[in-house]
Amino acid sequence: MTSEAKNRELLLLFFEPDEKPNPAKKEAFLKNVMTGQITRATKITLDRMLLIQVKYIRKMAWLAALMILLAAALITKGNPDSVLQIAALTPLLAFVTEIETRRSYAYGMAELEMTTAFSLRSIRYARFMILGLFDMAVLAGISLLIRKYVAMSVLLTLAHLILPFLLTMIGALLLERTVFGRTHPYGSGVLALLIAVVTEGFLIPDSPVAIPFVMYGFGWVLELAAVFLLAAVIALFCANIKQDEEMTAIWN
Amino acid sequence: MELTTERTSKHMELKIDRVSKQYRNKIAVDRLSATLHTGVTGLLGANGAGKTTLMRMICGVLTPTSGEITYNGMPVSEERYRSVLGYLPQEFGCYPEFSGRDFLLYFAALKGMPRNEAEIRSEELLETVGLADVSKKRVRTYSGGMKQRLGIAQALLNRPQVLILDEPTAGLDPMERVRFRELIGEIGKSSIVLLSTHIVSDVEHIADHILMMKDGELLWQGEWKESDGSLEEFYLREFRE
């Protein structure tokens, strides 16, 4: 028996008897296994990367944003404090978004994803961009939806909604940089709960902290803070992605 | 996306040039140089010798502290290199909602394969690794050996020119081990295959070239022929010294 024929026979024996593939297809595969034509990506475009990742984002991440939108629709009518209650829900949205952007680590897929043409960095950027924009769109939609019921501008309402979201994101991203954060991916959930509780207390209309901002025309401070924190979240996320190599080594 | 359907049959060369990797106060790989060509190269070494670190650097997962790794003159950090790379890490996980088929289709998409081509190739590989019947079952229900075979299929999706396998026989039973070696031997006829193991018999009969690592350094490299005697005895002797 030639060495090639022997190899082929051994290859056919590679699997359990009950799992043995169709020999005809097997022969075709062996002829084709490494020598057939293949389409290779040589340059990656952003739109293709986003399209791929949209399909693989869990439903939970989309539902979390839609649930808050639904909650906003239900609790707004006849409730002048609705913005505060909705704002207290946004840390949960931030938590779900942050967890989704780093699920490669949580499920041990990071190392494999780092070696594909679309590398882990592109994957994380794509997930962050898709969910970040979706969340922002939902929060902006809520601000427009409740504008009739709150005595604030749409921008200031949006700042109220977005601040606890961004604070949670910053906390979660900082946690992600620690060994504890890497080994306890759901630790940021506790942080989100804490911020939700603090948010409601901080934003109550007659709170000594909130009054100067809203009642005396210093709302722009909150708007400015929102812009600053948004920039901080993006910077922190990019810094974390640069740490991917070290994180992969630790996770593995 | 620019695409190419060419498979180069040109001379392939993976060059590792004085590569080191240092983690704080530990040197995992120390000024290691080697050149790999088409065929199977066995990377032998005890646990902690630096094999996985070296393989991760070859795959571009880790950046060397110093030195350079190139494939046909192209740095391994480039996207172009990753499109010809197949990698099976020592351990890997899977998203809980993924079936075996989803897993392959996901990696085919990340490897830039068009959907229809990915579907054909995935079915073909699932059939080949004996997972066609369970392709719609969740990966988390798979046994260790089935998961390892799925990992091998994933590494072969893009018909890699460079195939890096880190302890690929871990989790396979002795029979599967033997059969796996033969599969790798077949693939090594047209690709650069680097296979790490601490079990000498995994590479003794299929490797065209042997690298031996100890404490981050290359202890020995060269071809091993049957006339040279037992590789295992040589390995044990070298590592005792």
pLDDT of residue B85: 92
A46 versus A66: which is more confidently predicted? A66
Token pair 């991440």 in the structure block, residue: A61
Contact between chains at A117 and B83 (C-beta distance less than 8 A): yes
Instruction: Indicate whether B54 pLDDT > 50.
Output: yes
**Residue B230 near residue B238, CB atoms below 8 Å:** no
Residue A7: which of B1, B87, B186 has the nearest Cβ?
B186
Chain A contact for B93 (CB, 8 A cutoff) = yes
The pLDDT tens digits of the residues spanning A207-247 come to 544 544 565 566 778 888 889 999 999 998 888 887 766 55
| Gap between the Cα atoms of A230 and A162, Å rounded | 9
**In 3D, which of B98, B97, B117 has the Cα closest to residue B157?**
B117
Residue B5: which of A35, A39, A43 has the nearest Cβ?
A39
> How many CB atoms within 10 Å of residue B66?
12
**Residue B194 near residue B213, CB atoms below 8 Å:** no
Contact between chains at A249 and B62 (C-beta distance less than 8 A): yes
- Mean pLDDT value of segment A149-155: 80
A86 versus B232: which is more confidently predicted? A86
Chain A residues within an 8 Å CB radius of B109: 52, 118
Q: Return the percentage of chain A with pLDDT > 90, whole number.
A: 17
Token pair 């296979």 in the structure block, residue: B195
Question: In this predicted structure, which of A102-116, B172-186, B205-219 has the lowest mean pLDDT?
Answer: B172-186
Residue A210 is encoded by which pair of tokens? 């909130």
Helix (H, G, I), strand (E, B) or coil at B192: strand
Contact between chains at B187 and A33 (C-beta distance less than 8 A): yes
- Mean pLDDT value of segment A189-213: 69
Chain A contact for B156 (CB, 8 A cutoff) = yes
Residues in chain B, total: 241
The pLDDT tens digits of the residues spanning B97-135 come to 999 999 999 999 988 888 888 999 999 899 878 889 999
Chain A contact for B147 (CB, 8 A cutoff) = no
pLDDT of residue A205: 54
| Gap between the Cα atoms of B136 and A128, Å rounded | 29
pLDDT of residue B75: 92
Report the gap between the CA of B83 and the closest CA in chain A (Å): 5
Contact between chains at B5 and A16 (C-beta distance less than 8 A): no
Model pTM?
Answer: 0.80
* Count of CB pairs separated by less than 8 Å, A with B: 172
Chain A contact for B133 (CB, 8 A cutoff) = yes
Q: Among all residues of chain A, which has the CA nearest to that of B163?
A: A34
- Those of residues 2-41 in B touching chain A at CB distance below 8 A are 2-5, 7, 23
State the distance between the two ends of chain A, measured CA to CA, in whole angstroms: 44
Cα-based torsion angle of the residue sequence B2, B7, B13, B18 in order, rounded to the nearest 10 degrees: 30
B62 versus A84: which is more confidently predicted? B62
